[in-house]
Amino acid sequence: MLLCFPFTPLLSSFSRFFVGFLVICMLFLDSSSSSNVPAKIGKGYRLVSIEESPNGGLIGLLQVKQKNNVYGPDIPLLQLYVKHETDNRLRVHITDAEKQRWEVPYNLLPRETTPSLKQTITKSRKDPFKLTVSENGNSELIFSYTADPFSFSVKRKSNGQILFDSTSDESDPFNSLVFKDQYLEISTKLPKDASLYGLGENTQPHGIKLNPNDPYTLYTTDISAINLNTDLYGSHPVYMDLRNVKGEANAHAVLLLNSNGMDVFYRGNSLTYKVIGGVFDFYFFSGPSPLEVVDQYTAFIGRPAAMPYWAFGFHQCRWGYHNLSVVEDVVENYKKAKIPLDVIWNDDDHMDGHKDFTLNPVNYPRPKLLAFLDKIHAQGMKYIVIIDPGIGVNNSYGVYQRGLANDVFIKYENKPYLAQVWPGAVNFPDFLNPKTVEWWGDEIRRFHELVPVDGLWIDMNEASNFCTGLCTIPEGRICPNGTGPGWECCLDCKNITKTKWDDPPYKINASGIQAPIGYKTIATSAYHYNGVLEYDAHSIYGFSQAIATHKALQGLEGKRPFILSRSTYVGSGHYAAHWTGDNKGTWEDLKYSISTMLNFGIFGVPMVGSDICGFYPAPTEELCNRWIEVGAFYPFSRDHANFYSPRQELYQWESVAESARNALGMRYKLLPYLYTLNYEAHTTGAPIARPLFFTFTKETELYGLSTQFLLGRSLMVSPVLESKKTEVKALFPPGSWYDMFDMTKVIASKETHYVTLDAPLHVINVHLYQNTIIPMQRGGMISKEARTTPFTLVVAFPLGVTKGECNGNLLLDDDELPEMKLGNGYSTYVDFYATISNRTVKMWSDVQESKFASEKGWIIEKVSVLGLHGSGSALEVEVDGNEVKDVSKVEMSTKDHEYVETLEDKTKNVMVEISGLDLPVGKKFVLSWKMGMKS
């Protein structure tokens, strides 16, 4: 739903107005955070003692060298804890040695605990200069330090490359280690040729690669995604560092596990963290490939959630489906237009007065809604609605009454903190409180009994507040009164500046303007369960809500939950999907969506997409054509629009409908491939959509490429992202690439280079890379039907190869089950292999857990083999080791490949199609044939 920040585009005009707002900006600027600060803050710390801990780590004691009061007094003694937790993960933890400080709760993000503080400061100490390096068996990471002033470095064992170096020299623009109650600073030196990715969520106009001197602020904020280089809905303080030295490429990642607000300054040759609380809790992941980095990262933060099969179908939503008949018409019109549709959504239009877990009795009467759901559920369609965290303050509202009775709300001065969102005055549930999690689960259960929804959309959970400060409900007037915009604050409010939590000494660049950190959100001096301050827990609010929602949905019917969350934190992908928030219907926003999507794959949130055609204002017809061509290949593919925008369902323009049928038609054929990538993500963390450098890591030209992307390791999408273009200049890595819409067309080269591709209005260029086998089906109008159709296997050999091999895989399961795994009797996993050698082509499968696929009766009807230097003859077929003697219905045909660009090798190569097959997916098969010569 729409954000309500003063400097986002006004809904009435949809243009960027800053008049009047500049005055606010000036008020927010605080000179104490910049011009009055000395060039260097203190002299850092010195290591006074260090010893080995019982669990195989190191424990040290740091003492401040020179006290000062810039941003508050220094914490005099710090505990250093270092542990090689795995062969590829190193932890460096620094905190107050005498007092417990805030950390991301261990029950929300499970991990090893650190040694107790008392143990650290009471034991005898060893000479810190005798132990300067920490290595651990097979660990790829080496920790070393300098005692005075204290600094540390992390080095790669295999090549000696320094990955992190916190040394601060006099000439450096950053300080040695600074550790105060509300200001923490540490830096690392970097080589200038390092390529960095991550540090989000923000909209990056320069593309996926971090740009030196752009601002990177991490603090969850309800601010429209159209605002560039600004802290948005999520906080992910992790970056991947990719370096190519003399042709050898190595990647690693650095996570600072801290939920407090922070600025990160990337200067190209250094990176500095300035954090307003918590601890330094660094995790280093050694890689060395980008895929291995994400594997190691998600092994720590939690593997991405398994998504149901239908979630990979197309979704339609709009804020402004005023009544049920409109929703029914939308579903019917998609069917008439022959555009695939799996899921229909409601924004808050279904609610009674914008209140969670309610139905509008006039516009969405329950009997008619249930009849509608029975109808679409019978067809295999799904229905999802929005839920905001703010619970309307209303004594006749059962959800609020039960919440009050269970004491579930965030407090301020012993009363539930009062805010305003869509229902008017609201209180915010405290998801750090176990009682709140139980109450929330019960409310979801009650609502599901009222309306059998298939998933939940949790929005506004940064948390968003239309007001600022300490508010009360006005007497003598209705708030809101229904005449003005619903996002204007109408409570009686006063600013809260009396505490250091509301007005910290260091001002992060919140909202891009150094806004007070409590601006348009929960006051940061409000408190949660056990006295936890909102100041500390702010950026994990949406994360904690996602965990509670996931638990509730999983407990309903034992089905696999689907949750879409706007606000995210480290680990959110373990529970929820994400969309990129309120984007704009512009060519620029279409382009930005790719970088944000790719970033979230790195963050461990692979199920991600943007509002197709833009949330607001009205997109042009041409833009919507191009956007559905891209959006059809987002992992999460949803059209969503604003209340005030004209209708933009894909059937509203015939030209867009044609593009949708084309692009979504291909998506629905690729659903088994996408779903198998979902399994790969769930088991290894691998992003579904990923940058090209994930596969072609040595190709430095790809390190900044943000206008193309891969699905899996080998399916490349090269969209048109500019107006009035009928061709696209796409970068192709070395090898053979086959056009998915016409597999006879091929691009082959020995080096990375640009190719200009034809791209008329209804064409999206998608290419399959060599050495790959992908499973496809016939497609359809809904995933339930598409899933029952026969399979085609596409085998892509390097063009004209005389000796080579390909592989691929397929996961089939009962996608309603909570767990996505083998061995439960409701799943089948198939590995596909193909080789060419001695003019013989051989293809076979290896099946695990065959029972499920066999019972479903899935078959392979066709195999398309690309890049062969010769036609096929004398086909032999085996199933489960038995020769199939009758192959009379099987046909082999060949088509010449057409070269999109001229190769030095002018030899003809062909695609061989074997149709009429009837191979059970659940049984092992072998196909082989001799290749005849092709002149």
- pLDDT reported for residue 429: 98
Residue 509: Cβ-neighbour burial (10 angstroms; 0-12, 13-18, 19+) = buried
Decide if 236 contacts 569 (C-beta within 8 A): yes
DSSP label of 869: S
pLDDT of residue 480: 87
- The rounded distance, in Å, linking the Cα atoms of 561 and 458 is 13
550 contacts 575 by C-beta, under 8 angstroms: yes
Q: Do domains 309-678 and 691-930 have the same CATH topology?
A: no
Count other Cβ atoms within 10 Å, centred on residue 133. Answer: 10
Block mean pLDDT (10 aa), the chain, length 935: 38 29 33 55 96 92 97 98 97 98 98 82 50 74 97 97 96 95 98 95 95 95 90 97 96 98 97 98 98 98 98 97 98 98 98 97 98 98 98 97 98 97 97 98 98 98 97 92 81 91 95 93 98 98 98 94 98 98 96 98 98 95 98 98 93 98 98 98 98 98 98 98 98 97 96 97 98 98 98 97 97 96 96 96 98 98 96 89 92 93 72 97 97 64
Whether the CA torsion 505, 510, 515, 521 is positive or negative: it is negative
Q: What is the pLDDT of residue 476?
A: 87
Tell me if 880 sits within 8 A of 867, measured CB to CB.
Answer: no
Tell me the angle at which helices 671-684 and 290-301 cross, rounded to the nearest 10 degrees: 60
CB within 8 Å of 851: residues ≥ 6 apart: 825, 828, 922
Per-residue model confidence (pLDDT) at position 119: 54
Residue 740 exposed, middle or buried by CB count within 10 Å (0-12, 13-18, 19+): buried
Superfamily of domain 691-930: Golgi alpha-mannosidase II (2.60.40.1180)
DSSP label at residue 520: T
The pLDDT value recorded for residue 23 is: 29
> Of 629, 639, 634, whose CA–CA distance to 674 is shortest?
634
524: nearest Cα among 465, 459, 565, 472:
465
Q: Are 220 and 212 in contact (CB under 8 A)?
A: no
Residue 551, CA atoms < 13 Å, CB-side half-sphere: 17
Q: Which two tokens stand for residue 202?
A: 């923000």
How many Å apart are CA 668 and CA 781, to the nearest integer? Answer: 8
Is 500 exposed, middle or buried (CB count within 10 Å of its CB: 0-12, 13-18, 19+)? middle
Total Cβ atoms within 10 A of residue 890: 17
Helix, coil or strand: residue 202: coil
Q: Domain 309-678 is classified in which CATH homologous superfamily?
A: Glycosidases (3.20.20.80)
Q: Are 342 and 315 in contact (CB under 8 A)?
A: yes
Reported pTM: 0.95
DSSP 272-286: EEEESSS-EEEEEE-
DSSP 285-309: E--SSHHHHHHHHHHHH-PPPPPPG
In angstroms, what is the C-alpha Rg of the chain?
29
- The number of beta carbons lying within 10 Å of the beta carbon of residue 912 is 22
Q: How many CB atoms lie within 10 A of CB 797?
A: 27
**What residues does 79 pair with on adjacent strands?**
61, 95
One-character DSSP codes across 78-113: EEEEEEEEETTEEEEEEEESSS------TTTS--PP
Rounded Cα distance, 110 and 176, in Å = 31
Which residues are known to be catalytic?
459, 462, 582
Q: 439: burial class by Cβ within 10 Å (0-12, 13-18, 19+)?
A: buried
Question: Measured between alpha carbons, how far is 651 from 657 in angstroms, rounded to an integer?
Answer: 5
**Tokens found for residue 500:** 């250091």
Distance CA 513, CA 230 (A): 9
Q: Note the Cα 798 to chain centre separation in Å.
A: 32
232/610 Cα distance (integer angstroms): 14
CATH number of 44-289: 2.60.40.1760
Distance CA 830, CA 845 (A): 7
Question: In terms of residues, how long is the chain?
Answer: 935
Token look-up 């020179």 returns 66
CA distance 746 to 733: 13
pLDDT score for 627: 98
Question: Residue 454 has which token pair?
Answer: 């298939």
Nearest to 85 by CA among 281, 273, 294: 281
Q: Which residues pair with 459 in a beta bridge?
A: none
Domains of the chain, residue spans: 44-289, 309-678, 691-930
Distance of CA 125 to the CA centre of its chain: 45
Give, as one character, the DSSP assignment of residue 75: P
> Do strands 391-392 and 45-52 pair parallel, antiparallel, or not at all (unpaired)?
unpaired
In eight-state DSSP terms, residue 312 is G
